[in-house]
Amino acid sequence: MYAFHLTGNFPRPDELIDVSRQLDRGRTDEKEFEENLTSSARKVITLQMTNGLDKLVDGQLSWQDIFRPFSELLDGVKAGTLRRWFDNNTFYRVPIVYDRVRRNEAPITKYYRHDLIPNRERRKAILPGPHTFAKLSENTAYASFADLVDDLAHSLADVSRELIEDGYTFLQFNEPSLCRATSQELEIAKSGFELLARNHAKIMIHTYFDTVSHIIEDLLDFPVDCIGIDLYANDINAFDQYSFSHELSCGCVDGRNSLIEPVDQIVELITKVRDAIEPSQLYVGPNCDLEFLPYTVAEKKVRLLGDVRRRLNGQ
């Protein structure tokens, strides 16, 4: 019934922050940075395994933001100027779409470290969803938003196929912008997910930072296996009238506050969600990336997930 996972970028440990700063200043080389990156990713994976998380991510420690790897993995996209990432004091580089978007030859292994996750069936990859990608890009190449979403979906589907070949069984597409999508945009996004769903992996669409109660009926029509909802932005009572044939990912650990939630409270919330919505599978995790927290706090949040898991499993 319950499965546990992380839903976004993990913060870098202090030593990796220091090495990355030194790299910027020319005081160390790529080799040292890569070594530190690998050892840090191992640490993040071990942390998840120790706490019994069911799906494992590499922490995406090399990513500067959710879109940055794709300015390298896709032709037609480059990183632009800084813009605020929703209502956070964190900024991303706007993807500039300057030409037709296509998957190129750059290897995905730089950004998806499947080699570090030993158990194939537990490998989970996180990607930007095509709607959010298009919405937050500066489009100078496509005449219509729908065409851009379509090509992004094709390109992300190509990346997904490679991920599946590398053993990933669970693909999460982050779609925070979908919370404010119009009816027409929801239709376009749905078409994009129809492309992504052709691949043989479990597909999750993850929404966060905002309420989705007004679009939940549309989301339930999306051809995805799992829907992620941020419970720090949504009241769970708003969903109990809907029949959830999908699996549900419950964002009940706050990735934007250092407070370590009481285990009892999370357990009670999950139980309430289970009883109200009765999803076929309930994933439990943070509402968003833990990257908004210092590393040591993010570690505690993962341990909290482990404690909740043990409590729910009656251990």
Nearer CB in complex with other proteins: 14/121: 14
CB of 304 to other proteins, least distance (A): 14
Interface with other proteins, residue 262, by CB under 8 A = yes
Binder of other proteins out of 8, 11, 192, 228 (CB under 8 A): 11
Local structure of residue 54 (DSSP, 8 states): S
The type of residue at 201 is A
Nearer CB in complex with other proteins: 52/294: 294
User: Distance between CA atoms of 293 and 89, rounded to whole angstroms?
Assistant: 12
Number of residues that bind other proteins (CB under 8 A): 44
- Is-contact 155 101, C-beta < 8 A? yes
Binder of other proteins out of 215, 233, 284, 288 (CB under 8 A): 233
Which residues, at least 6 apart from 170, have a Cβ–Cβ distance to it below 8 Å? 5, 55, 123, 124, 125, 201, 202, 204
The region that residue 205 occupies, defined by phi over 0 for left and psi between -120 and 50 for alpha, beta otherwise, is beta
Number of H helices, E strands in the chain: 9, 10
Nearer CB in complex with other proteins: 21/102: 21
Site for other proteins in 17-56 (CB under 8 A): 17, 20-21, 23-24
Binder of other proteins out of 246, 248, 254, 309 (CB under 8 A): 254
Nearer CB in complex with other proteins: 100/272: 272
Q: Are strands 74-84 and 91-103 parallel, antiparallel or unpaired?
A: antiparallel
Binder of other proteins out of 183, 245, 259, 315 (CB under 8 A): 259
Nearer CB in complex with other proteins: 23/146: 23
Reading the block at residue 68, the tokens are 């940055």
Interface with other proteins, residue 137, by CB under 8 A = no
The type of residue at 22 is Q
Nearer CB in complex with other proteins: 3/260: 260
- Is-contact 266 252, C-beta < 8 A? yes
Site for other proteins in 75-114 (CB under 8 A): 82, 84, 87-93
* Choices 94-102, 169-177, 189-197, 265-273; region in contact with other proteins by CB under 8 A: 265-273
Local structure of residue 199 (DSSP, 8 states): S
DSSP code string of 91-128: EEEEEEEEEEEEE-S--GGGT--GGG---GGGBEEEEE
Site for other proteins in 285-314 (CB under 8 A): 291-297
What does the binding site for other proteins look like in residue numbers (CB under 8 A)? 11-12, 14, 17, 20-21, 23-24, 64-65, 82, 84, 87-93, 231-236, 252, 254, 257-259, 261-262, 264-265, 268-269, 272, 291-297
